[in-house]
Amino acid sequence: MVVSPVHFIAVPLLAAFLMPILAKVNKNLLRIVPGIVLTYLGYVSVVLMNRVATEGTIIEVLAGWSAPWGINLVYTPFTGFLATLMIAMSFLIWLYSFKFKKVDDEPALKYFILQLMLTTGSVGLVLTGDIFNFFVFMEIIALSSYALTAFYRDRNGAEAAFKYLLIGAFASTLFLLAIVLLYSQVGTLNMAEISVRMHDVPTSMKVSILVLFLVGIGIEAEMFPLNGWAPDAYSQAPSPVGVAFAALVVKAGVYGLVRITYTLFGIEGSGIGPFLIIMGGITLVMAEITALKQTSLKRMLAYSSIGQMGFVLIAFGIGTHEAVFGAIFLMFNHAIIKGLLFMSGSYLVYNTPNKEIKYLSGYGMKMPVISLFFSLGALAIVGLPPFAGFWSKLYILLAAADGALYGLIALILVVSIIEIVYYFRVVGRLYFGKPAEGSIMRKPTVGGMIAMSILAIAILVVGFYPDIITGYIDAAASSILNTDEYIKNALGAVNELTPVENIIQ
Amino acid sequence: MEDILKLLGGAAATMLLAFVVGATYGGLVRKIIARTQNRVGPPWYQNFVDISKLYMKDTAVHHGVMQHIGPAFAITASVTVLMFVPVLREGGWFPWFENLNFKGDIIFLIYMMVFGSLGMALGIGQTGNPNASIGVSRGLSMMVGYEIPFVLSLVSVMVQTHTTSITGLMEWQTQNGWLMFEAPFAFITMLLAILGMFHYAPFDIAHAPSEIASGPPSEFGGKYLAMMMTSGSIFAFAKLVFLVDVFMNGASNLVMLVVKTLLLYMVPVLYGAVSPRYRTEQAIRYLWGWPVFFGIIALIYSIYI
Amino acid sequence: MGGAILAYLAKRITPMLSSIVSFLAISSAAVVFFTMTSSTDVVTVSVRNFTLQFGLNAYSWVFAAMVMGISALVSLYNIAYMSGKDRLGYFNLNFTLAIMSMMGIVFANDWISFFIFWEIMTWSSFLIVVYNGIDEGKIGTKYMIFSAVGGYAMLMAIVITNSQIDSFLIADLINAYPTFGHGMQAMIGILFLIGFSVKAAVMPLHVWAPRAYSDSPMSFTAIFSGLLSKMGIFGMAIMFISVFSKASIGDTFIYSQVIAWLGGVTAVMATFYAVIQKDAKRLLAYSSIAQLGYIVTGLAIGTKLSVMSALFLAVIHALYKGILFMAVGAVERQAGSTNLEQLGALIRKMPWTFFSALIAAIALAGIPPLGGFVGKWMLYESMITSTNPSHLFLVILIFLSSTAAFLYVYRLLFGLFLGQEEPEWDHVKEAPAPMVIPMVLMALTLILLGYAPGLLFEPIANGMEFLGFENVGWQMSSLSNIWGDTVDMQYVWGSVVTLFVLGAIFITIKNRKSTRYVTTKDIHTSGEIPEAHENLTYAVDFYKPFERAIEPVMRKTMDFYYNHFGNGLESLFGFVRKIYTGNGQTYAMYVVIFLVILLLIGEQIFK
Amino acid sequence: MENIDFNQILSIAIYGSAVGLILIGLYAVLMKKHLTKIIIGLSIIDAGIHLLFIAIGYISNGTSPIFSEKGISLVSEGTKMVDPVPQALVLTAIVIGFGVTAVALSLVIRLYRHHQTARIDQIKTLKW
């Protein structure tokens, strides 16, 4: 049973569509199916990661058509790393939401299908080598996350979903427009070929394509002016979906941004780097400032994860190998730490009226384990040394220092002071307020506990001994950086350029 | 072995001398103040009589262990200051009197002067007498007041003569004249500081007889009061000798010593006899006003000459 | 060496049980440390592209010994102090973590591990500061913000140095420092100094210290103010001695002048605050900030004598501050309150605590026979003999604060132990043994150091030679300055003690039989005898006149400015978050506007 | 006049109408307050882009890109085939547009039932 990247997409899609039928057969089957699928995908990703580490990028041509037309999946160390990260996180999310909606089964079925769709969309987006396929997967993610945000009937999920949909649809139209213009200039959809043919496109057209792409994917990656929808969507979605947002959707958005800027347009000397730094910086500052003033916990976490994404953008903007390494490391850290924060946070605020922080006082005694997870997450996200967050922040700062961007370092550090303030305000309230009587605690499910403890252990292990994953991240950083190696591999499957010209004119 | 004997003998002799001279000064002061208030005043040997009467008294009341330690601190401080100050220059015919001065220096002496009052304050605290505690709080606040100009003048002197030990100062003075004239501003600051240090009239808020029943020692009777008075007189003498050594190049013989110390002693006494009493914060404000101003000039003067 | 690290790593897992376990862990680490000091091999942990080095050198031995010794004693005290309290496991975890991180800092050879343990120390002490749960005045967040500012300033400096010389080793920074450009030297220097002076509570950055010291449990405050602040001094000493001395002439002048005066101002202001405090804990907190001010001044002056005095004072300060905080903790535990105005006359009930507090107070005030005087003397001498004139005026400032120190020292002793005996405190008994033993032990070391300061001079001298000074001379017991004047501590000590003993014997023996003890109620009050319940202790507003005298200086505290700044920021952020109006359409409008702007200026940025 | 060949005008017309559609849709989304109008505006924009996509792939008097015998024979005679790729993409894009609109409408129904209003500026519970 040869293992190939296409399984990443085919198997979960198949499972997603089979689920309604299976659910009819046996009620709790629908809970187990995603687990099986995700474990299998986990196995696939592990095998592929080793293969990629040994033989280099794996190219998977779909449906026979060679590169310029057919869609090919490019499994480079970078995309492989992201895919594994996403699968691992969605496995944990599945574990976390195992007992989800025990009450009436019907939405649970929808929930699991959508969750599986979300995973497929994001993994597919990361792996695909074709720009239009990228658009299709982006839409899959978008659609499933619209539905998931509006999942709960009682809360105003609908409003959040509608805002997300409005902006998301806008993003997809812009993205499509960009593809249209790109196709008109370059005539091919395969990313590798695009980047080859990009430098003979007139600059004015090239700029407008780039801008459209940036804004289109920027909405998904929550850049500053474009992230209006994000805090509402995060806070109104059910808690496992919040984790999915933080771990999968945003990562896909940022990957898209990076793939376009790095591979299609090339980062050196084209002014994109400084643009990313500035936009990342503004996102970071704006998100952290608003987070400071938040009263509801989930909105605060939402703004903080937007801020972290701004930080990743800054790192990618710097563009040196060290910076990219730091950025990928931060993406990994952000996924696990923010996941833990969302999971534990949602248990904490489960039954406080509209998720206010001020009702949390004194929960340290009543829910000791959950608050311990939350404070561990808080300490890690802020970047205090013994935990995972510190190393990624350190590498990015080192890269910034090499680039003599002292202003940037100062900005990052000042903002992280703000971050410390609002996180420790919550931790302080957890442990040292007077518990309000009569607040009912929500016992965490077994699955939830396992998921959270895995994440906590991951934070500690990476914190103490970062060398476990630095090897993979190094490979990933180098693979994203040298685009020509990417092109050589992607086009290697089809050595000669098929005569496109003779067909059209 | 021989010089230890000499040392002990010298120490005993100095202590006796200090006590005698100190007590007579006490008597003299009472007489002078009385005279200015045109009443006859007690005879000059009145202090000796009081102290000996107090020692002879049988019953003595105490409030616990600290009341023993307090006067012990006081006597230690005054005698140690005496020990470390060269009472007579070695040239004189009483060589025994220069005892341990080569071992200590001026900063050490500044601290020893403070040591006495702090120790006594602890003893007084034990007694629990409210008047005493008020006296202590005023006394200590005043101490902060007059320490500053006192130190200012000493520091400027030290900087000018490039030595921090008293013997060094005296050698410097033998070469180029009394510091009284060489460092005029320092001397003026010192005079103003002395007003505060000897707790005479303008600055006697701490022992104010009318308000707080003689202040801190009000709870001490019998042998404790006696011990306090002896150490008081020795301390007065020791301070005077120290000042004479610093500013007037010490004395080679006893007569010179008495003359110089008496002259110096008259400044606070006479000024005190005629002036009313400052409140504590007025005292502190005053002591941090003019004296500190002169002190700073002295410092600048010492740096740039 | 390996043993020491192994030991304190081992204690990381045991603290959850109870303070007894944490005591055993710390003391075992102390024992291992003292036996293993000879080997100076280096333990390295490699992380991706750089290695974290741990090694012990002469200079860090001084601090390590101090940390180990005092924390072992304080953890013994901790057992008794914390026996009644709840959430013991949580407290001990952080207690041991803080001590472990201090050891880590002292051992670190490179900046990254230095920073790692620095941050662990910060947040573990933060978790203890908020342990009592009283959060009014937002002391927890204030502490966290300030130490974050310090920590991140240091991180920035580390990152910049790495970009210059591409290595994290402290030694590399030391010998590469002169080669940097003028601007670079200044930036790195100032950033490091900010980082260290937050912990050493130097004036502008000290706002967190008084509340943090007084709000956390007393057993930890002894560590907190005694040792944690010394880590700031540890770092500052490295910067001043080995780094700045090599910097271009222009720089050293600024650093030593500015920091020296900052230290002086801190000392004076903190002492003034201390004098007017009502609560013993706050009084001690301000006093330890003042003492730190001395040490910082000593370091900043930079002559051989002043650095020696600063390090000596650092150790002595840790000792007597430890005793005083423990004593106040004992009083708090036995009598239940530390308010100077209500307590009184505990001397008869808690004699041993009083004895150690008295010795500590004498040392703190710098009175001759004890170690405090030695440190102070050297500090004054170094300032008087120093060449640049501004130090002379600094002497006056320092002297003012040390004389004012007598005030609050007396107020502390009088408030807690002396004065009228009140019926409400009759139930008070002496503190349990494990509390008293560490205090008395530390008091005895203070007395010993008074007699023979050389015991401490020797390691400090080796440390200073390691850092960059040449042939630092020291004698066993006589102190000398460059002008050749000496004070022989043996003579001083001898004369004072013999005289004291003679005086005490004389006064007790003299007609022994006829003196009788009488309670503090029966006093000379010109006739009307006070009844039992009448409280005659004069302790309220003890130094009102002094307070009125220094009124003009005290009007605005630094805290006022920080709160003002904080609220200003808060309202600004409140305004900023309005940008998310909540209306979907406005978000779409933002997108379009952003798109149009980009299209227009796209040419320039993406050329 | 006749030298302006017919294809030139046709392509300008098509491109012009595509851009026009996009602008109209944009106006609807940004200005209109009623939710359904916004959704209609969105689909107008979609339609505009699809039109643009097809226009790019059009070759004047090219034949449809189906490899039937007739098609291949035509190609052998030299008439070009129209570029098939945009047409394929537009198909998927239309389906996606349809999906999004369906979800949007269901959300609008839910919003109306919850807020009893369909004006977007009244639905602002989630702010800051």
Beta strand residue intervals within A156-204, DSSP E:
none
Task: List, as ranges, residues 396-455 from A with C-beta within 8 Å of D.
Answer: none
**Structure confidence at residue A73 (pLDDT):** 77
**Structure confidence at residue C16 (pLDDT):** 44
**Structure confidence at residue D1 (pLDDT):** 47
Whether the per-residue pLDDT at C364 is higher than 50: the answer is yes
Burial C380-399 (b: 16+ CB within 10 A, else e): bbbbbbbeeeebbbbbbbbb
A abuts B (3+ Cβ pairs < 8 Å): no
Q: Work out the average pLDDT over B95-118.
A: 71
In terms of average pLDDT, the best of B76-80, C160-164, C277-281, D48-52 is: D48-52
The amino acid occupying position B282 is Q
Residue in chain C lying closest to B223 (CA): C507
> Model's pTM, two decimal places?
0.82
Those chains having 3 or more beta-carbon pairs within 8 angstroms of chain D are A, C
Residue B169 pairs with which residues in a beta bridge?
A: none
Nearest chain B CA: its distance from C5 CA (Å): 43
**Structure confidence at residue D20 (pLDDT):** 92
What was the ipTM of the complex prediction? 0.79
Find the angle CA(C441)-CA(C445)-CA(C451) to the nearest 5 degrees: 145
Nearest chain C CA: its distance from B246 CA (Å): 16
| D30–C584 C-beta distance less than 8 A | no
Residue in chain C lying closest to A391 (CA): C47
In chain C, where are the structural domains located? 249-489, 558-605
User: What CA–CA distance (Å, rounded) separates B133 from B98?
Assistant: 38
Is C487 in CB contact (< 8 Å) with chain B?
yes
HSE of A388, CA atoms in CB hemisphere, 13 A: 28
Predicted confidence band of residue B86 (pLDDT cuts 50, 70, 90): confident
| C152–A433 C-beta distance less than 8 A | no
Those chains having 3 or more beta-carbon pairs within 8 angstroms of chain B are C
Comparison of pLDDT for C548 and C3, the residue scoring more? C548
Predicted confidence band of residue D44 (pLDDT cuts 50, 70, 90): very high
Comparison of pLDDT for C9 and B121, the residue scoring more? B121
Whether the per-residue pLDDT at D119 is higher than 60: the answer is yes
Q: CA end-to-end span of chain B, whole Å?
A: 46
Tens digit of pLDDT per residue, chain A (505 long)?
466 777 777 777 888 788 777 777 776 676 777 778 888 888 888 887 777 777 767 777 776 665 556 677 777 778 888 888 888 888 888 888 776 655 445 567 778 888 888 888 888 888 887 888 888 888 888 888 888 888 777 667 788 888 888 888 888 888 888 888 888 887 777 777 777 777 777 778 888 888 888 888 888 887 777 777 888 888 888 878 888 888 888 888 888 888 888 777 766 666 778 888 888 888 888 888 888 887 888 888 888 888 888 888 888 888 788 888 888 888 888 888 888 888 888 877 776 666 677 767 767 677 778 888 888 888 888 877 777 788 888 888 888 888 777 788 888 888 888 888 888 878 777 776 666 665 566 666 777 788 888 888 888 888 777 777 777 777 777 777 777 777 777 666 544 444 444 344 3
Whether the per-residue pLDDT at C222 is higher than 50: the answer is yes
The amino acid occupying position C290 is A
Q: Where are the alpha helices (DSSP H) in C366-488?
A: 371-384, 390-417, 433-451, 454-467
**Structure confidence at residue A419 (pLDDT):** 86
| Chain C residues in contact with D26 (beta carbon < 8 A) | 592
A abuts C (3+ Cβ pairs < 8 Å): yes
Q: Work out the average pLDDT over B60-68.
A: 72
Is B254 in CB contact (< 8 Å) with chain C?
no
Residue in chain B lying closest to C405 (CA): B144
| Chain B residues in contact with C367 (beta carbon < 8 A) | 111, 114-115, 118
| A189–D107 C-beta distance less than 8 A | no
Average pLDDT, chain B: 77
Residue in chain A lying closest to D72 (CA): A503
| Chain B residues in contact with C516 (beta carbon < 8 A) | 59, 61
Whether the per-residue pLDDT at B71 is higher than 60: the answer is yes
Closest CA to C130 of C198, C210, C74, C212: C212
| C126–A413 C-beta distance less than 8 A | no
Alpha-carbon distances of A427 from A231, A242, A420, A432, C152, rounded to whole Å: 21, 20, 10, 8, 20
Whether the per-residue pLDDT at C327 is higher than 80: the answer is yes
User: What CA–CA distance (Å, rounded) separates B20 from C317?
Assistant: 42
| Chain D residues in contact with C584 (beta carbon < 8 A) | 120, 123
Out of C301-315, C588-602, D4-18, D110-124, which region has the weakest mean confidence (pLDDT)? D110-124
**Structure confidence at residue C474 (pLDDT):** 67
User: What CA–CA distance (Å, rounded) separates B22 from B236?
Assistant: 6
Nearest Cβ partner for C592 among D30, D33, D125: D30
**Structure confidence at residue C47 (pLDDT):** 65
| B100–C543 C-beta distance less than 8 A | no
| Chain C residues in contact with B53 (beta carbon < 8 A) | none
- Judged by DSSP in three states, C494 sits in helix
For residue C547, give both structure tokens: 């307070």
Nearest Cβ partner for C588 among D30, D123, D124: D30
Residue in chain B lying closest to C534 (CA): B130
Best residue in C580, C585, C595 for a mutation probing chain D (most D CBs within 10 Å): C585
Is B126 in CB contact (< 8 Å) with chain C?
yes
Predicted confidence band of residue C512 (pLDDT cuts 50, 70, 90): low
**Structure confidence at residue A502 (pLDDT):** 39
Q: Interface of chain D against chain C, CB under 8 Å?
A: 26, 29-30, 33, 38, 120-121, 123-128
In terms of average pLDDT, the best of A441-445, B294-298, C554-558 is: B294-298
| DSSP 8-state secondary structure symbol assigned to residue C367 | -
CATH class of D6-122: mainly alpha
Whether the per-residue pLDDT at C536 is higher than 50: the answer is yes
Predicted confidence band of residue B126 (pLDDT cuts 50, 70, 90): confident
Best residue in B108, B165, B225 for a mutation probing chain C (most C CBs within 10 Å): B108
Q: Work out the average pLDDT over C246-259.
A: 65
Is B39 in CB contact (< 8 Å) with chain C?
no
Is B73 in CB contact (< 8 Å) with chain C?
yes
| D46–A173 C-beta distance less than 8 A | yes
Q: CA end-to-end span of chain C, whole Å?
A: 58
Closest CA to A216 of A182, A277, A245, A175: A175
Contact between A202 and A210 (Cβ < 8 Å): no
Nearest Cβ partner for C589 among D30, D33, D123: D30
| A177–D52 C-beta distance less than 8 A | yes
**Structure confidence at residue A499 (pLDDT):** 42
Contacts of B285 (CB under 8 A, 6+ apart): C549
User: What CA–CA distance (Å, rounded) separates C22 from C81?
Assistant: 13
Predicted confidence band of residue C602 (pLDDT cuts 50, 70, 90): confident
Out of A21-35, A74-88, C262-276, D17-31, which region has the weakest mean confidence (pLDDT)? A21-35
Predicted confidence band of residue C10 (pLDDT cuts 50, 70, 90): very low
| Chain C residues in contact with B211 (beta carbon < 8 A) | none
Closest CA to B101 of C492, C368, C480, C475: C492
**pLDDT single digits (tens) B133-185:** 777 777 787 888 888 888 888 888 888 888 777 777 878 888 877 777 777 88
**Structure confidence at residue A193 (pLDDT):** 78
CB pairs under 8 A between A and D: 98
| A232–D80 C-beta distance less than 8 A | no
Comparison of pLDDT for C336 and C324, the residue scoring more? C324
**Structure confidence at residue A505 (pLDDT):** 37
- Judged by DSSP in three states, C279 sits in strand
Residue C51 pairs with which residues in a beta bridge?
A: C46
Out of A470-479, B201-210, C407-416, which region has the weakest mean confidence (pLDDT)? B201-210
Is D119 in CB contact (< 8 Å) with chain A?
no
Nearest Cβ partner for C507 among B125, B133, B223: B223
